[in-house]
Amino acid sequence: MKINLLGASLFVLGALAVSVPATAQVTDFQPVTDEDILDPAPEDWIHWRNTLDGWGYSELDQITTENVANLDYAWGWVMEPGSQETTPIVHDGIMYLASPGAIVQALEATSGQMLWEYRREMPEGSRPGGLNRGLAIYGDKIYVPTPDAALVALNAETGQVEWEAQVADYQNRKTLTAAPLVADGKVFVGFQGCNVFSEEKCAMVAFDAETGEELWRTITIERPGESEDTWEGIPFALRGGGDIWTTASYDPEADLIYIGVSQAKPWSRLSRGHDGDALYTTSTLALNPDSGEIVWHRQYIPGETNDMDESFEHILIDIAGEPAYINMGKLGILWRGNRETGEPLPAFDIGLQDQIDLNEDGTFAAYREGAIGELNVPLSSCPSATGFRSWRAMAFSPETRTVYVPMAINCDDGIVYTEVEMVEGGGGNGRGGTNRVNHPDDPDNSGRILAMNVDTGDIMWEFPMRTTANSATLATAGGVVFGGDWARNFYAFDAEDGEVLWEVTLPQAAQGYPITYAVDGRQYVAIPIGVGGATWSTSVPEALAPEVRRPSGGNMMMVFALPEV
């Protein structure tokens, strides 16, 4: 069943666009406990991916494969302009929603009625309208990462500032985009903006959740003299990259935090002037939450050279009785490993990338011939720098033992890597001349949602899309998987076979992280829509599907539910 909400939603957009000051506050608020964080109530969605294991899965089952076709529009809320990739959180019937520019609103989760609002005054030189991928909640506080590289704790009942910590120097182009992780009375957050050479390195940072005191900071770049010099003598200030733009996962039994670290900068080893491993870029770090100590690390592609990040969400599951983790980066390889030791398990390549070969044990073997290229000589590669995967998170269903992967399918033709001046204050990506083209294996589509069994690597089903998959996926105990695309479609799939059970045309592209929650026994599905998201959601869809058009602006939260009985 397909419905079109464009007219109705535009009416709501107009109705809600008037700025109304908050005159109420959250009443009967129940603080979020450690037990809530470790085992959330099914009715809530209190973490970026709902649970600390990163599944993006809900135990709610009121919406099923049998009735999902009856989903109807429930309410909506216009968000602020800017680049939008947000995740709402819900606790006790209240939705806390972050808009671009560190604007947070508390809304009644059944109607969208605003209870309070926080608007950050951004300092001069920071990024106005900077994106936010989500919030965190713990105790009586909401934790907000900001574009000017601060972490703000708000009172969940009133929206008043309880404390504020400056995490990094926004004047040095640092910014926070990822939702914080909360565990064991601490708030953990990483930051990005490390393509400029400086002594300040990207890092994972821990704060006391009650007071905002900084407890530790673990940088993502190997210092000179640490173990082995994998940067081959490059001065510390000139070691770029290692950004963090994803939320960490947490295993309370192993008592470890897992965070993905991005590529080195400049992107190519040709521009960097060395072919060392460049730790700890393109890696998973397992950190002690009390000290920040790196308990183990796993680098997926030593000396990575084509901007193939492996820095996205980590899903914590058991595989054949072994405590394991899985993650997938831009190459479309499902990496697997033991989450207590980091030892690799066999990896599964979906078979679209043309850059690297793997060993049987699931580790990097070598770059393929021609994949590294030469300075100032055009190079082609699959995927493009957008990656087959990016910030749009995949979801895992324990019923099907399957991950549901939102993908962009395209390649780069004519990449040119150039020299970069290696001086403090300089830097950059060292890359130009890119022309995005369709993948030769699928010349008619630039997106898909792919379902892969995590035990066998078997592709269970695929749903091709003319434009890129443009939201994270959401899996539920009702056997339904939700996801959306750049062409303004939002879908409900049968988790078993990929049959489209319901679809709706949205006013703007699905963009962000869909969630589901329940209030007074009624289950809702919420999807942020909007614009932004770098080339994945701007130039790539426009170039590869030029006949598909969408509005140039418009951010909104849209919420659906079954008809009330």
- pLDDT tens track for 279-309: 999 999 999 999 999 999 999 999 999 999 9
CB neighbourhood size of 17 (10 A): 9
Cis peptide before 100 (omega within 30 of 0): no
> Is pLDDT of 239 > 70?
yes
Q: Within a 10 A sphere around the Cβ of 295, how many other Cβ atoms?
A: 16
**How confident is the model over 75-82, as a mean pLDDT?**
96
Distance (Å, whole) CA 93 – CA 108: 6
Reply yes or no on whether the pLDDT at 136 is more than 70: yes
Mean residue pLDDT of the chain comes to: 94
Share of residues in the chain with pLDDT > 90 (%): 89
The Cα 467–Cα 415 span in angstroms is: 22
* pLDDT value of position 24: 77
Alpha helix stretches (DSSP H) within 103-239: none
Give 132's contacts (C-beta < 8 A, 6+ positions apart). 85, 86, 98, 99, 100, 102, 144, 145, 146, 147, 177, 179
Q: What is the mean pLDDT of residues 392-419?
A: 96
Residue with tokens 């002594």: 199
Residue 7 reports pLDDT greater than 50: no
Average pLDDT in the 248-277 region?
96
Question: Which amino acid, one-letter code, is at 408?
Answer: A
Name the nearest CA neighbour of 162 among 144, 135, 188: 144
Looking up tokens 């030029």 gives 546
pLDDT at 29 (0 to 100): 95
Q: What is the largest CA-CA distance in the chain?
A: 69
Q: What are the Cα distances from residue 377, in Å, to 389, 414, 437?
A: 26, 8, 18
pLDDT value of residue 23:
56
CA dihedral 278, 280, 282, 285 (to 10 degrees): 160
Residues across the chain: 565
Which residues make beta-bridge pairs with 251?
Answer: 256
User: What is the Cα–Cα distance from 143 to 182, expressed in whole angstroms?
Assistant: 9
Give the pLDDT band (50/70/90) at residue 330.
Answer: very high
Average pLDDT of the segment spanning 251-258: 98
Amino acid identity at 212: G
Q: Which CATH number applies to 209-390+410-444?
A: 2.140.10.10
Taking residues 87-99, report their average pLDDT. 98
pLDDT recorded at residue 2 = 65
Beta carbons within 8 Å of 11's beta carbon, 6+ residues apart: none
Three-state SS for 362? coil
Q: Which residues contact 559 (CB under 8 A, 6 or more apart)?
A: 73, 74, 75, 76, 109, 112, 524, 525, 526, 527
Q: What is the mean pLDDT of residues 486-492?
A: 97
Q: Global pTM?
A: 0.95
pLDDT at 4: 59
Q: Is 14 left (phi over 0), alpha (psi -120 to 50) or beta?
A: alpha
Domain boundaries, given as residue ranges, for the chain: 1-22+58-77+473-565, 209-390+410-444
Measured CA distances, 96 to 45, 62, 156, 476 (Å)? 10, 23, 9, 21
